[in-house]
Structure 1
């Protein structure tokens, strides 16, 4: 029987009489330098509890770590992200620690969702940060008003301007950002198209005025014959109504500039007077 039910330090192992050779066996797993846990289901909470053995007592989980702990289905467990008021340097791989003047509002050692979003928008690259906040909004974990009520830095406010309610998947968020960061207008999310008082389609992204509809095709669109037939009928109806339909897949997004240029051509065909998209190094760094 292991003397530990959760993460422990090497010093705690010695005090419990656990031989070092035993720690390195199949019954235990090393999570961080000097921190072990019984082998088994190692999830994010266990990793955070392990990290807390190395962190200041006031450390609070925030950013994507806090959102994942509260149920966000996006991102990876590592690195775990914490903040503290203490001036310390953390050199442990897999742990991000930032010193802040004020800790975010938190329950236990986990930041509130709104403040975790605010931290994310301030600290992470634009596309993954906005994508995660879009997802949190879609899942009903937080509202725009909640985020705006949290302390927002100038950088966070700029990033928040790119956030949208209604993005049904991270891929849709990334597609929208590829368009807007290249200088194209911001499309509607989940745009509803009606004719004769009846719903024809609800598309992922919509340029209503210029009659361009974008759909991100997931694998189910190709493997489900019934869904495939519905898609064909729906797209035919949209074309009949004068819409240009741009269908996007993960494979196509490997060359995002080509997708953006196709959307631009569709906009121009329907009277868009704006400039061509710009694919500068910052765009490629964000989207490519």
Structure 2
């Protein structure tokens, strides 16, 4: 690789310690019309290098490159996580998109940007929140510390205050980490004791998003929710479409 090449996209994010995307091909970016064919390496060429350090592009630039090739739900999952961990900064991302609207991935990132939220504490939590929002259900509070009884405070992943209902994501670490496991048991006991309905969503259940949302809706109805049911229409479907298609819709009548 030329000395001026820098890691970008998923390679840069994995380099920083995030298990995002496939490990290969490795993604590098270089300024100028430099052609190089190497097994397991994809060299992106640009007319102007994005912000970078001695090893790779900035997290914001890596995220822009990532968005060029992924679905909306993938961008939401990774973008929310990077914002929550403060590895990516919204103002720097905005500036990058403003200064280089022509850059590969910039239109896709701009499309996804309004849906990014720094409150989910993990990637699965970000995905679960997107499912609820894009299905048209009530928009919950996220990781808000609430008092469900005098002196009893909890921080649900999602909280529907008027209905006294919560949604909790249970990842593998909730069972492997014994302190977390016991804290979860105590929290759910508090929910039951103080008349709070809750829906547990596991990693396995997340594989069937519509089923998850139907269960959340059923719980909300049991607490008096009389709003519209989940709507798995074009808005919902957009979550699972490549950002490239959403930014550049197909010509009517063509497939």
Pick the TM interval, shorter chain. Answer: 0.7 to 0.9
1:202 is matched with 155
2:237 is matched with 282
Q: Does 1:183 align with 2:129?
A: no
Contact 1:65 1:77 in 2 (8 A): yes
1:118 is matched with 64
Question: After TM superposition, what 4+ stretches of structure 1 lie above 6 angstroms from structure 2?
Answer: none
What TM-score do the two structures reach when normalised by structure 2?
A: 0.74
Pick from 36, 46, 49 the counterpart of residue 103 of structure 1: 49
Q: Using the alignment, how far apart are the partners of 1:273 and 1:190 within structure 2?
A: 23
Q: Deviations over 1:66-106 (max 9, x none)?
A: 22223435444322222334346666553333333432111
Q: Using the alignment, how far apart are the partners of 2:13 and 2:49 within structure 1?
A: 16
- Aligned length, in residue pairs: 233
Q: Using the alignment, how far apart are the partners of 1:176 and 1:265 within structure 2?
A: 17
Higher strand proportion: 1
Q: Using the alignment, how far apart are the partners of 1:197 and 1:149 within structure 2?
A: 45
Contact 1:134 1:164 in 2 (8 A): yes
Q: Using the alignment, how far apart are the partners of 1:100 and 1:197 within structure 2?
A: 59
What TM-score do the two structures reach when normalised by structure 1?
A: 0.67
1:248 is matched with 201
Contact 2:213 2:230 in 1 (8 A): no
| Root mean square deviation of aligned Cα | 3.2
Q: 1:140 is paired with a residue of what secondary structure?
A: coil
Aligned-residue offset at 1:260: 0.8
Of the two, which has the highest radius of gyration? 1
Q: 1:175 is paired with a residue of what secondary structure?
A: helix
Contact 2:144 2:155 in 1 (8 A): yes
Higher relative contact order (CA 8 A, sep 6+): 2
